[in-house]
Amino acid sequence: MKRAYIGIGSNMGDRTRNCLRAIQGMAQFPDTSLSGQSDLYLTQPQGKEDQEWFANSAALLETGLPAKDLLDLLLDLEGAMGRVRKERWGPRLMDLDILLFGNDVIQEENLIIPHPLMHQRRFVLVPMAQLAPDVIHPILGRTMAQLLGLLPEDGQSVVPVRE
């Protein structure tokens, strides 16, 4: 079994509900169990700033699936939830990314793990540092908490969702 950390984001419709539905969907994947999840956060959009803020979270899955099969299931879940890919970094109903897959380093055409931008994004590192502060990035050799501490807050606001 591998520990897979999944980044979750939505900025269309009921953003927080979309994230919670995605987490429930991942818990139904074969040979996989949901082992943890971070809180939800509202986050400033990156890359394309003229859009709604996102709801973001992270989940920990214990899985016997290969990374490529897990990615296929995540893409299927995005599609089942209504995601249509129109523009890079544009608005999306659901976005699911494999951030880490055990200590594996994978470089394939449609799959790069660790996620190549995770260490530059507070919307990824805040939930990851809450969920797994001591997990070490397999390339950078720093924990999630250390990576978060190195990242400036300017232009990357992250606000906890209050229920």
Q: Is 95 a catalytic residue?
A: yes
> Which is the catalytic residue, given 17, 31, 97, 154?
97
* Model pLDDT for residues 128-149, shown as the tens digit of each residue: 999 999 999 999 999 999 999 9
Q: What is the pLDDT of residues 14-60, one digit of tens each?
A: 999 999 999 999 999 999 999 999 999 999 887 667 789 999 999 99
CB 23 within 8 A of CB 96: no
Kindly report the pTM of this predicted structure.
0.94
Angle at CA of residue 148, ends 53 and 152, nearest 5°: 70
pLDDT > 90? residue 89: no
* 72 counts as catalytic: no
Structural domain range at position 51: 2-160
Tokens for 131, please give them.
Answer: 């969920």
Among 1, 5, 21, which Cα is nearest to 98's? 5
Dist CA 3 CA 74 (whole Å): 15
- CATH of residue 82's domain is 3.30.70.560
Indicate if 97 belongs to the active site.
yes
Among this protein's residues, is 39 annotated catalytic?
Answer: no
Which entry of 17, 21, 92, 104 is annotated as an active-site residue? 92
